[in-house]
Amino acid sequence: MQMQERRALYLKIRDYLAADIAAGKWSENDKLPSERQLTEQFSTTRVTARQALAQLEAEGLIFRANRRGWFVTPPRINYDPSRDVGFVRYVQEQGFSARTQTLDKQLVELPDKIADEVGLERGTPVYEILRRRYINDRPCLIEKIYLNPKNCPGVLQYSLDGSLWNLLRTEYELEPVERHLEIYPQTLEHRIADALDANTGTTGLYIRRICRDQHGEFLELDEEFWLHNALKVVVSVSPF
């Protein structure tokens, strides 16, 4: 009976907060009452309050920022991973602000497993690029790229805070022609979660893209680690 009462109370708190969000009491990115405030308001335990907040987070209505509390989730962007439109452009087309921050860029050896997958010799040097991308100043995406330097030597000398595809087109006349996409949910491991100001184990969406250029050569492997409540995948298909 006690467990049923506690479950009913966490759902009551969940419904109360969800109704206030729907009514516009809190707007996107507004901070919600703290766990301590909820425990006092509903005369319950912090465990129950946290359970209600976790339920809303799983539904995508709120998100937690490390050491700062719980906030109302902004609207999701529509994301088509098959398009060759730069991140900033397609986010801005939907009425949001966007920016990219390059965290690291270096020459490394391509991991053996990936080398075997894309048909390169083990130990092949590639450019490794790590970027964090923001929507309305909220970090939503960590992107890890392995870029084949064969047809774009010296690309690391450029700023990579803009569109990488635009840079490859204008400076190296390279075009992505063949793509292989994988998309599936996964939890965010510590390094990625920390970079996104989220908790380790937070639900994320993993998008993996392998591209070959117009010459049929491996161009890049792009791994994207998204916060699950930042986007919805939308793909338009035209009849042949």
pLDDT in tens, 167-195: 999 999 999 888 899 999 999 999 999 99
CA 115 from centroid of its chain's CA atoms: 25
Quote the pLDDT of residue 7.
54
β-sheet bridge partners, residue 181: 209
Mean pLDDT, the chain, whole residue set: 89
pLDDT exceeds 70 at position 240: no
Contact 153, 185 (CB under 8 A): no
β-sheet bridge partners, residue 100: 133
At residue 229 the predicted structure's pLDDT band, cuts being 50, 70 and 90, is: confident
pLDDT exceeds 70 at position 11: yes
81-91: average pLDDT = 80
Q: Which domains does the chain have, with CATH numbers?
A: 2-72 (1.10.10.10), 77-233 (3.40.1410.10)
pLDDT-wise least confident of 88-102, 117-131, 163-177, 225-239? 225-239
Quote the pLDDT of residue 1.
42
Contact 32, 26 (CB under 8 A): yes
Instruction: Please tell me what DSSP assigns to residue 31.
Output: B
Distances in Å between the alpha carbon of 165 and those of 83, 211, 219, 220? 11, 11, 11, 11
pTM, two decimals, is 0.82
